[in-house]
């Protein structure tokens, strides 16, 4: 249960960090807004022309009697839109992170420097194009894994009673786990931690991943909220990555907010009244 609380605290601390750093927050909003516009365009196009696409894809049904043809193609159109919406929810974080790779790398490094005892942050030695390639490759792998889980849980949702009670809860925890993996990837990739190692770290501390990702996944269900929470989620995931790797974290204020300028303002040690972060 301790890990569950630590995950939640990292999530909240990340949001507080961006609230105190307005410029970084505004900078971090851009990728989410771009992704939102792209996804909205795709979904609107699907709503307008999805029925035409289904009719083109099912020529064998052209000769069916009136009501059956309409019911069949109407059902397929609804399923197509539902799956597209599900895929959009599952892939939103991965696509936003890919589009915003330079933005979020800079944000994550700033968080690392603000809570590192020596004021430094791990830096990747790879060129930007290589970082983008690795991010896209790993993002596709995670989206594929989460899509398989999503389809499975969608199918199990038709089971009586269990499908309407247990399965949605399981779905939120699965979503939380994969959200945590995608978001911590920004900080962990800079440290040279590959996808397989990242998944192993999170599987060993599932409660930590659930405490961070599950509340975030629930918040993402509210329209447009994901866009505004993404910068803070990346900041919080950086703190979570430090926790996963057991890295020492500098002093924070009594409200739990990392003191970004502590090193500069207090050369002889932590600011008065500060305590060690995320080490209950």
The stretch 147-172 carries a mean pLDDT of 81
Whole-number pLDDT of residue 126: 64
The stretch 18-34 carries a mean pLDDT of 87
Helices 2-20 & 101-115, crossing angle to 10 degrees? Answer: 110
Band of residue 200 on the pLDDT scale cut at 50, 70, 90: very high
Backbone angles phi, psi at 252, to 5 degrees: -130, 165
Both tokens of residue 228? Answer: 């505004």
Band of residue 202 on the pLDDT scale cut at 50, 70, 90: very high
Residue-wise pLDDT tens digits, 106-142: 899 999 998 988 887 777 666 666 666 776 777 777 7
Q: Which residues contact 17 (CB under 8 A, 6 or more apart)?
A: 111, 114, 232, 235, 236, 257, 258, 260
Q: Which residues contact 250 (CB under 8 A, 6 or more apart)?
A: 114, 115, 116, 117, 258, 259, 262, 263, 270, 277
Residue 113: which of 210, 258, 241 has the closest Cα? 258
Residue-wise pLDDT tens digits, 67-116: 888 888 888 888 888 778 777 777 788 788 888 878 888 899 999 998 98
Residue 108: which of 262, 271, 241 has the closest Cα? 241
- Residue 236: which H helix or E strand, with range? helix 225-245
Q: How far is CA 65 from CA 57, 62, 68, 72, 77, in A?
A: 18, 9, 6, 11, 18
Report pTM. 0.74
190 vs 82: which has the higher pLDDT: 190
Q: How far is CA 229 from CA 91, 235, 237, 252, 273, in A?
A: 16, 10, 12, 22, 29
Biggest alpha carbon distance in the chain?
A: 84
The whole-angstrom separation of Cα 26 and Cα 24 is 6
| 238, pLDDT greater than 90 | yes
Whole-number pLDDT of residue 137: 76
Q: How far is CA 169 from CA 29, 163, 173, 234, 259, in A?
A: 29, 10, 7, 24, 36
Terminal-residue alpha carbon distance, the chain: 12
Whole-number pLDDT of residue 129: 65
């Amino acid at each position: 249960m301790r890990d569950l609380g630590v995950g939640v605290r990292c999530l909240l601390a990340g949001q507080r960090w961006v609230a105190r750093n307005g410029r970084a927050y505004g900078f971090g909003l851009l990728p989410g807004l771009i992704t939102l516009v792209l996804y909205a365009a795709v979904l609107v196009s699907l709503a307008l022309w999805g029925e035409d696409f289904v009719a083109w894809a099912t020529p064998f049904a052209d000769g069916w009697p009136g009501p059956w043809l309409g019911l069949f193609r109407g059902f397929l159109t609804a399923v197509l839109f539902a799956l597209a919406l599900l895929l959009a929810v599952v892939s939103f974080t991965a696509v936003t992170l890919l589009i915003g790779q330079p933005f979020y790398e800079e944000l994550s490094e700033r968080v690392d420097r603000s809570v590192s005892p020596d004021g430094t942050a791990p830096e990747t030695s790879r060129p930007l194009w290589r970082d983008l390639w690795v991010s896209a490759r790993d993002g596709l792998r995670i989206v594929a894994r989460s899509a398989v889980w999503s389809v499975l849980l969608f199918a199990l949702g038709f089971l009586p009673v269990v499908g309407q009670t247990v399965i949605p809860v399981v779905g939120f925890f699965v979503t939380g786990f994969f959200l945590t993996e995608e978001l911590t990837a920004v900080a962990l990739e800079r440290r040279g931690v590959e996808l397989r190692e990242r998944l192993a770290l999170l599987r060993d501390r599932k409660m930590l991943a659930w405490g961070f990702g599950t509340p975030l996944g629930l918040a993402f269900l509210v329209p447009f909220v994901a866009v505004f929470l993404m910068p803070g989620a990346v900041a919080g995931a950086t703190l979570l990555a430090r926790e996963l790797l057991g890295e020492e974290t500098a002093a924070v204020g009594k409200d739990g907010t990392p003191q970004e300028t502590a090193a500069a303002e207090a050369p002889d040690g932590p600011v008065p009244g500060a305590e060690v972060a995320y080490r209950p």
